[in-house]
Amino acid sequence: LVYRGDRLPVWDAQAESFVDPETRNPLTAWGEAVEAVEAVEEPAHVVTFGRQVHSKGILGGTDEAGRHIGYLTKYLTKSTGEVIEATSARQREHHDRLHAELSITPCSPRCPVWLLYGIQPLGATSRTTPGHCKGRAHRWTTLGLPGRRVLVSRKWSGKTLADHKADRKAFVRDMLAAVGIVKPEQDTTRLIWRKVDPGDRDAPPRAHLLMRAIAERITWKAEYDRALLAAGPPMSGPETSATPLAA
């Protein structure tokens, strides 16, 4: 660590970057730090965890698939503290040491912890607090695990959120069309979207907007329920919960 305690980098408004509190020299830029790391041929430390990947195919619709889905959905929503519980003083001390190290270990290129090492992270502003990061990797409840424990869908499906939204919209549109409810595409090319300024007289009252949105969604739900009833009873599949009975 280059900075710690009360001796921390300060923001220079003129240079629009963090500088040393004594020399007023700017900290190492992120690009320069990356180039310096890439120039190193041998790493200072190497940690290996052995063979970790065990790929296994799962057939959809089988009891095994339901069991695996149940366990995944159960443990992916738990915090580390719920899964790994310290039951002895030695384990609690280990968790304390791990948490202390993670508090000074940068978690991403934008992590403010980089400032403690004399490196300016990406996107640093005057509101960035040196050494204080809100990332989940620094928390006691995660102990180094980042926010996502599985790959985001676009990395294994090749689709973005907009693509998934379009798929859901097309699915609902097809179901409604099957019972004679046709939803034509609205032409929005002639519309201009802008934010409503406070006090705009042309803006409808907020209560009217809320009631209209509620009525619109009630209509959508009624139409979708009608399409579901016309499609027949729902298909019964295998039990996919790891804990079928609630505690």
Mapped onto helix, strand or coil, the DSSP state of residue 28 is: strand
User: Which residues in 97-107 are b (16+ Cβ under 10 Å) and which e?
Assistant: eebeebbeebb
Q: What is the pLDDT of residues 187-227, one digit of tens each?
A: 888 888 888 888 888 888 889 999 999 999 999 999 989 88
Residues 105 and 113 sit within 8 Å (Cβ to Cβ)? yes
pLDDT digits (tens, 9 = 90+) for 13-58: 998 999 999 999 999 999 999 998 888 878 888 888 777 666 677 7
Q: Are 158 and 140 in contact (CB under 8 A)?
A: no
Taking the complete model, does pTM exceed 0.75, yes or no?
no
Q: Look at the block and give the residue holding tokens 């790929």.
A: 55
CB burial of 178-191 (b: ≥16 within 10 Å; e: otherwise) equals eeeeeeeeeeeeee
* Per-residue model confidence (pLDDT) at position 201: 85
Q: Within 13 Å of residue 29, how many CA atoms lie on the same side as its CB?
A: 6
- Per-residue pLDDT band for 83 (boundaries 50, 70, 90) equals low
In the chain, domain spans: 10-38+63-150, 155-186+205-231
Count, residues in the chain: 247
Cβ distance 146 to 107 under 8 Å?
A: yes
Please return the burial class of 9, using the count of CB atoms within 10 Å of its CB with bins 0-12, 13-18 and 19+. Answer: buried
116 secondary structure, DSSP code: G
SS3 for 108? coil
Distance CA 128, CA 111 (A): 9
Q: What are all long-range contacts of 15-23, with beta carbons under 8 Å and residues at least 24 apart?
A: 17/120, 17/124, 18/115, 18/120, 18/124, 18/128, 18/130, 20/118
Residue for token digits 């990356």?
34
Rg value, the chain, Cα = 27
| Closest to 2 (Cα-Cα) out of 119, 129, 133 | 119
pLDDT, residue 148, reads 58
User: Both tokens of residue 75?
Assistant: 């443990």
Token pair, residue 197, equals 């300024």
Q: Please, which pLDDT band fits residue 3 given cuts at 50, 70 and 90?
A: very high
Q: What are phi and psi of 138, to 5 degrees?
A: -90, -5
Give the pLDDT score at 152: 64
